[in-house]
Amino acid sequence: MEHTDEELIVATLAGDDRAFPELVSRYMQPLYNFILRLSGSAADAEDISQEAFVKVWKNLKKYRQGESVRAWIFTIARNTTIDWLRKRRNLVFSDFENAEGENPLLATLTAVEPLQDELFAREEDRAVLEGAFVQLSVLHREVLTLHYVEGLTFDEIGKVLKAPLHTVKSRHHRALIRLREIMAPIPALHPYK
């Protein structure tokens, strides 16, 4: 039987040595992906992820039962990332780019084998979206990432960002508008679509 996140925290606090590694295993990839999108660096994302999990471990007693564990962990990861980036003042928040040219924002390709021209069109679309995404501010990227990639509700995002629900919804709306503005001047890539 799979334990809930909250049960894993309670078990960890009770001394179960297997509970925390299971919690880490559950959240390692989503947290790494989120941090990668904010930091723009795979190497930094690895370091920040480790630091975030150390903070989760140290603050387990501060977790309030009944709250979303997912939102609590993402809050710690976000704050750790922001602190990390502030220490590196030479970075401008709105100009982060992924040095590896990767952005797992889009879902992976379906299991059905697409035709070669479909693959090419998808890669072009992905590249256009990635290029537009990195032009967004960190505030806009984190809302879009938390909602569309990590599947958090606006309420959970509000807890992560420590912002009221209407602020999160407004930021989400403005992020989508900004993304459309950035992509509007881009000519159509696929004349047959």
Domain CATH number, residue 143 = 1.10.1740.10
- Which token pair is 192? 């047959």
Burial of residue 122, with CB atoms counted within 10 A of its CB: 0-12 exposed, 13-18 middle, 19 or more buried: middle
Mind listing the pLDDT tens digit for each residue in 158-173? 998 889 999 999 999 9
Q: Is position 192 within any domain?
A: no
100: containing domain: 5-183
Q: Is position 98 within any domain?
A: yes
Q: Does this model's pTM top 0.75?
A: no
Q: Is position 193 within any domain?
A: no
Mind listing the pLDDT tens digit for each residue in 89-134? 544 433 443 445 443 333 322 334 444 454 455 566 667 777 777 7
Q: Is position 139 within any domain?
A: yes
- Which token pair is 24? 């880490």
In Å, what is the CA distance from 101 to each residue of 11, 40, 65? 40, 9, 40
Nearest to 73 by CA among 47, 53, 46: 53
Which pLDDT value is given to residue 89? 53
Non-local (6+) Cβ contacts of 22 within 8 A are 3, 8
Q: Is position 190 within any domain?
A: no
Q: Is position 189 within any domain?
A: no
Q: Is position 188 within any domain?
A: no
Q: Is position 122 within any domain?
A: yes
- Domains in the chain, number: 1
